[in-house]
Amino acid sequence: MAETTTTTAIPELTQYLERLLAAGNYDAVKQLLEPEQPADAAEAIGNLPTLQQAIAFRLLPKNEAIEVYEYLDATVQQSLLERLRSGEVLELVEQMSPDDRVRLFDELPAKVVRNLLQQLSPEERRVTAQLLGYETETAGRLMTTEFIDLKEFHSASQALTIVRRRALTTETIYSLYVTDAARQLTGILSLRDLVVADPEDLIGAVMTREVVRVHTDTDQEEVARLIKRYDFLALPVVDREDRLVGIVTVDDVIDVIEQEATRDLYAAGAVQAGDEDDYFQSNLFEVAKRRVLWLLVLLITNTGTSAVIASQQGVLQRVVQLAAFIPLLIGTGGNVGAQSSTVVIRGLSTNRLQALGPWRTVGREALAGVLLGLLLAAVVVPWSWQLSGEPLVAVAAGVSMLCISILAATAGASLPLLFDQLGLDPALMSAPFITTVVDVAGVFIYLQTAAWLLSHLGANG
Amino acid sequence: MAETTTTTAIPELTQYLERLLAAGNYDAVKQLLEPEQPADAAEAIGNLPTLQQAIAFRLLPKNEAIEVYEYLDATVQQSLLERLRSGEVLELVEQMSPDDRVRLFDELPAKVVRNLLQQLSPEERRVTAQLLGYETETAGRLMTTEFIDLKEFHSASQALTIVRRRALTTETIYSLYVTDAARQLTGILSLRDLVVADPEDLIGAVMTREVVRVHTDTDQEEVARLIKRYDFLALPVVDREDRLVGIVTVDDVIDVIEQEATRDLYAAGAVQAGDEDDYFQSNLFEVAKRRVLWLLVLLITNTGTSAVIASQQGVLQRVVQLAAFIPLLIGTGGNVGAQSSTVVIRGLSTNRLQALGPWRTVGREALAGVLLGLLLAAVVVPWSWQLSGEPLVAVAAGVSMLCISILAATAGASLPLLFDQLGLDPALMSAPFITTVVDVAGVFIYLQTAAWLLSHLGANG
């Protein structure tokens, strides 16, 4: 897989750096790091022993150091801060993009953050404090305050001069924003529009007035959805007075999309997702903590199965062969329910469900439950008959397989939709929970069916 | 959620369009559609009755029509092709970006594709046939052949003139590529670099020579990983001779990331993912088909539980209370296994596992299994003792809870890793399969433990 692409082999790079640093050949370290992509340099430096990290980092050219720093893991960023001289630290933090700085501050102890904030220049301090004031996972937290704003009365050539002047200190120059005297957003244009415009054209005539914008408190999932839908490179963020305060760029949105996918997947696996996708960096007790809550919830729900079986012990005592098919029936029913909840939860988060609407979605799943239940019953009946030698067991297994399958598909589709309607996270109703609910209901259906058959047919083989 | 953003309410827009089209007020339709984002116009048109779709589409200004068409669903694209005059069809298909055209052709009947291909201009035909020749889900299939290539001997001002001239017909002008006489890629620069460069500078002096590139047959997941890692807006694609043949842009990559996340989630829910994320558009039998295979595999695996229980019927007959805890134990064990397989599969696909390596990953999970098993046993023992009144049942349940938990965590972590090492898709070892394997092993462990206790303690309450 890796050999079709021209990218750096990080383990090798790390190894060479380590060797050269140990030998004190700092020129060679510079020569090795210089042509690397910042992301690769950051990963290699992050892999070095802590003591060497600071040395290697200091060898980077100043303008590249900032970029590399922004790509480092939060833990490495933090340990570097402790090892660099306070002058170096300040310069670094001062020059980071505001959004990356805020992400770093989120990880640092409050005392360190207060200390650093005090030392920043007034402008950077203001911006940082502002971003820190927004709720996490909102557009305000995700945005950068570095963008290029133009005025409608600028000519295209004036605008191009402004872009040139600010190109090196601005995160993106490809989306340009037009504001009025009150700093309210009145239009946008792309650098492409500007480049093809006649130099004499006024910005007001070239720009687009219909601007898709979000508010500082818009959820980051919604921001991602919009950028994805419209294929934007950036999206403007306005405050309550519609003043332009920042922009969110597509690279941050890719991280959001991946983070949300991890969260959905973890929910589907009954793992509580942390704020950061740092499962493999946390210690064992942290790992257990993130798993035990869900396990206990599911365990307690599942005690319902024991209670149901214990209350029906008479039936089992009369036909002990019934027990052999309990795991099979509830396990298979659980899988049907897991399928339904999976497609519905994913459909909700990718917005593909909108066209169908909740009622038709549940109806379709219920019908799928009937169809799948009939197919599964067709396998279960002969198998259970053959293994138990009891027609009664086979009939009970077949009937309950069908009922369980319908119930599982319906519950799997409707519970996430219900949670969504109530404004709760539909992922709480993901596969593990649905499966457990189906376990309890399934055992009940199976043993009740068997009891009914026993009492009405009076048969015992 | 929607009210914090300034976007169009599609259902309302659709309704108005329908009304105006029915009244024959085509000017009003134009006025309504004109300021909309192409993605929104496409969705509204897609929601119209089929007959109206073609009318509304014809009312779009020509240059916007292409963009809107590229955003339409494949089914709507296809039905439009059937309703437009062949001259209109040809013009439309001729002007689409090559990558979008190929995606459309993938959906059309082979006969229609052959017919259209023949009518395309020689240049567009060549490009399209070339893209259709690459495997699906590779960089070659994903790329567009529209990019701006410069030569090292161009001056910055010459280059800017080239960019200006080609800006309107090229998908992105923000990443520029430098090739030599043999069309081999020698460097890249961004429009930002070009804009800040001195007009006299030669491209050869301004460009970056270290270029991350992929081959036409690179898997689309790898393409997405690289663009994500380096925060690129586009990535160059070269052929076997290192000649530049196309570029993949970030908007296509976002779709890939989402598609892969859907696939992983579907695997976690035992649903087979189709080529397109079209679960909610397919009919009921298609839905059942995509689910029944996994259900049958799991059902057949799960028949192991019946076989195990049937073979241990003697134990159950002596202590029928044992049956009450079978679903609880295997269900909880299944959840532990689902957690482990979920984090490992996600770690493999986001590359977060690399630092830890396979052995330490499995070791950590096994230890987590011990820890979680002890916690769960501490709940299960008193509950089973109280419900059954049998100390033997409580001991058997507690011991097997611990064993099942360790086994589940270990299997959940190691089976996906093993599949990955063997070059198979680790998602095949996702939660549903692990859960089913744990069911079979769990029942065996539980009944064996109980049998051993019975024979060694000889107790029965």
Question: To the nearest whole percent, how much of chain B has pLDDT over 90?
Answer: 44
pLDDT of residue A7: 61
Question: Which of the pair, A108 or B390, is modelled with greater confidence?
Answer: B390
**Could you give the CA distance from residue B384 to residue B395 in angstroms, rounded to a whole number?**
9
B324 touches chain A (CB under 8 A): yes
Query: Residue B1: which pLDDT band, with cuts at 50, 70 and 90?
Result: very low
Mean pLDDT of A405-416: 95
Residue found by looking up tokens 């490809």 in the block: A174
Mean pLDDT of B170-193: 93
Query: Residue A346: which pLDDT band, with cuts at 50, 70 and 90?
Result: confident
- CB contact residues (below 8 A), chain A span 406-425, against chain B: none
Q: How many CB pairs under 8 A join A and B?
A: 389
As separate numbers, helices (DSSP H) first and strands (DSSP E) second, chain A gives: 22, 6
Mean pLDDT of A327-339: 93
The whole-angstrom distance between residue B36's C-alpha and the CA centroid of its chain comes to 28
Mean pLDDT of B391-403: 95
Q: What is the pLDDT of residues B66-82, one digit of tens each?
A: 889 888 888 888 888 88
Nearest to B177 by CA among B224, B212, B201, B142: B212
Q: What is the pLDDT of residues A284-328, one digit of tens each?
A: 888 888 888 889 989 999 999 999 999 988 899 888 899 999 999
Mean pLDDT of A93-99: 84
pLDDT of residue A6: 53
Provide the token pair at A281. Answer: 């960096």
Nearest to A52 by CA among A88, A32, A22: A22
Q: What is the pLDDT of residues B246-275, one digit of tens each?
A: 999 999 899 898 888 888 888 888 887 765
pLDDT of residue A458: 59
The whole-angstrom distance between residue B243's C-alpha and the CA centroid of its chain comes to 29
Q: Is the pLDDT of residue A461 over 50?
A: no
**Could you give the CA distance from residue A332 to residue A404 in angstroms, rounded to a whole number?**
9
Question: Which of the pair, B116 or B189, is modelled with greater confidence?
Answer: B189
The reply to whether residue B342 touches residue A213, judged by beta carbons under 8 angstroms, is no
> CB within 8 A of B95, min separation 6: which ones?
B66
pLDDT of residue B308: 92
pLDDT of residue A460: 47
Q: What is the pLDDT of residues A34-82, one digit of tens each?
A: 888 899 999 999 889 888 898 898 888 887 888 898 888 888 888 888 8
The reply to whether residue B254 touches residue A258, judged by beta carbons under 8 angstroms, is no
pLDDT of residue B2: 35
Mean pLDDT of B400-424: 94
pLDDT of residue A307: 92
CB B388 within 8 A of CB B394: yes
Element (H, E) at B245: strand B244-249
B220 to chain A: closest CA residue: A1
Mean pLDDT of A330-336: 93
B166 touches chain A (CB under 8 A): no
Mean pLDDT of B104-133: 83
Q: Is the pLDDT of residue B300 over 70?
A: yes
Question: Which chain A residues contact residue B341 at CB under 8 A?
Answer: 269
Mean pLDDT for chain A overall: 88
Question: To the nearest whole percent, how much of chain A has pLDDT over 90?
Answer: 44
Mean pLDDT of A126-131: 84
The reply to whether residue A268 touches residue B269, judged by beta carbons under 8 angstroms, is yes
Nearest to B440 by CA among B397, B408, B414, B393: B408
pLDDT of residue A448: 94
Q: How far is A118 from chain B (nearest CA, A)?
A: 31
Q: What is the pLDDT of residues B18-54, one digit of tens each?
A: 999 988 888 889 888 888 889 999 999 988 988 889 8
Provide the token pair at A337. Answer: 């329910």
Residue type, A198: D
ipTM value greater than 0.90: no
pLDDT of residue A182: 92
Worst-scoring range by mean pLDDT, A3-7, A100-104, A141-145, B100-104?
A3-7
Query: Residue A274: which pLDDT band, with cuts at 50, 70 and 90?
Result: low
pLDDT of residue A2: 35
Question: To the nearest whole percent, how much of chain B has pLDDT over 70?
Answer: 96
CB A101 within 8 A of CB A171: no
Question: Which chain B residues contact residue A386 at CB under 8 A?
Answer: none
Model confidence pTM above 0.95 = no
Question: To the nearest whole percent, how much of chain A has pLDDT over 70?
Answer: 96
Question: Which chain B residues contact residue A326 at CB under 8 A?
Answer: 309, 323, 326-327
Classify residue B182 as exposed, middle or buried by CB count within 10 Å of its CB (0-12, 13-18, 19+).
exposed
pLDDT of residue B362: 94
The reply to whether residue B195 touches residue A435, judged by beta carbons under 8 angstroms, is no
**Could you give the CA distance from residue A380 to residue B307 in angstroms, rounded to a whole number?**
13
Number of Cβ atoms within 10 Å of the Cβ of B336: 32
Mean pLDDT for chain B overall: 88
